[in-house]
Amino acid sequence: MSMLTTSLKRRIEALQNECDLLAQGMDNLSLQLQEAYHHLKDHEPAYVARQMGQPIPETPDDIGPELHPPEE
């Protein structure tokens, strides 16, 4: 029984380590996605707002100059 207990404890430890690595990977991916949205926000603020669950900007200043050509 002792051998089985030792084996199970090692397996649990290995699974916990794997879970920690996967959680760290998810954190890294989350940070990368957040950074990508930050860079994209200047060019596509409406898309980023939708993806982030935020209100979509409605004023020309919030939307960006590329969608509103200068008036002559």
Q: In whole angstroms, give the CA distance from residue 39 to residue 43.
A: 8
Report if residue 64 sits inside a domain. no
Report if residue 19 sits inside a domain. yes
Report if residue 72 sits inside a domain. no
Provide the whole-model pTM.
0.61
Q: How sure is the predictor about 32, in pLDDT bands with cuts at 50, 70 and 90? A: very high
Average pLDDT taken over every residue of the chain: 85
Report if residue 71 sits inside a domain. no
pLDDT of the residue at 25: 98
Q: Inform me whether the pLDDT recorded for 62 exceeds 60.
A: no
Domain total of the chain: 1
How large a percentage of the chain has pLDDT more than 70?
81
Report if residue 9 sits inside a domain. yes
Average pLDDT over residues 45-61: 81
Report if residue 36 sits inside a domain. yes
Domain extent for 6: 1-52
Q: In whole angstroms, give the CA distance from residue 70 to residue 19.
A: 53
Report if residue 17 sits inside a domain. yes
The angle at the Cα of 40, spanning 29 to 61, to the nearest 5 degrees, equals 145
Q: In whole angstroms, give the CA distance from residue 22 to residue 60.
A: 42
pLDDT of the residue at 61: 57
Report if residue 57 sits inside a domain. no
Buried b (16+ CB within 10 A) or exposed e, 39-62: eebeebbeebbeeeeeeeeeeeee
